[in-house]
Structure 1
């Protein structure tokens, strides 16, 4: 049986515990044995290199250097990494090796909770199969992103809340490689209730399965 590790904590505003429950249920339905931890200390355990998948749900906070090095080494060695919203790409802001692995970092969400559109960029990718462009209500993440990402979905900023970014097309969902490991990310999911949105749920579930070793 494949093993997945969920590590949740950090800023409570992103409801990390509720998100961890949603992801745990999702993975158990797919036949994973799911381990759940609430401290980043587990990232320093050499045993993480034997996992199939790691899901960080840990907005902001700090990552010790030995934790960062062991985690990135495990993914480079073949462990999958998957995450969403601030739980993965607004985590550990001082940990640049971690950010290099993830492929992006949150920097703003103009207007906070707003209505926006998610545009499917790769309809031919199995993760996006059968999903059309859809409307979404959440934080519209403005991110600094790695140009090596394989972008699967985007959003376009209207400029209503920050005029100088009008027309900017921003990645929402991507996948990438880090060494031998597969990395998946979706910026959707500010609140745990968003897992009830069919498109968000389906994309994230498929993305984790793609990333998992």
Structure 2
């Protein structure tokens, strides 16, 4: 008997392309997900159950087995460092994690700063980046509105994800350097990978076919 697979999907900017992906796989009743507060959805004919959660929580649900699979940005995976299997990048949701700040700080030798505060939603990656560069910083962890921090004196710099750079420009910030590139990734619970091997392998193959088709467009 075919086992049901639970899939954790991220709220926010990645949700729409995730739904487009599963629509290609025959899940036709998920469009309402964009406009609903409902968090649990069933696609019985496809053998799938979906949960819609905050992106940062997707790796947690997958690591602990509440979801067999999940889709999340590689930036969050690197920040959270959860014990999950990461088989494939999906080619959408591309963005970059960058250091940014006011225009006057670009080109400045940051090594000469005695105190430097950096606001971010990515404290682990931020510390690692500046440690590799040999720059001493105080990292201020925020949950949102990071671009505000330099404008009100909370921080000298920020580390955040950018796609087009418009949010930086709108807040009078400029990119200083890139830390990493990111895209949406499929992740799998390690126990599920063994216990539901046939179902997961079949789903991954179908997802890979869609991703290849999208990349060829």
Q: What TM-score results when the alignment is normalised by the length of structure 2?
A: 0.29
The structure with the largest strand share of the pair is 1
- The higher relative CO (CA closer than 8 Å, separation ≥ 6) is in 2
| Larger helix percent | 2
Greater radius of gyration (CA): 2
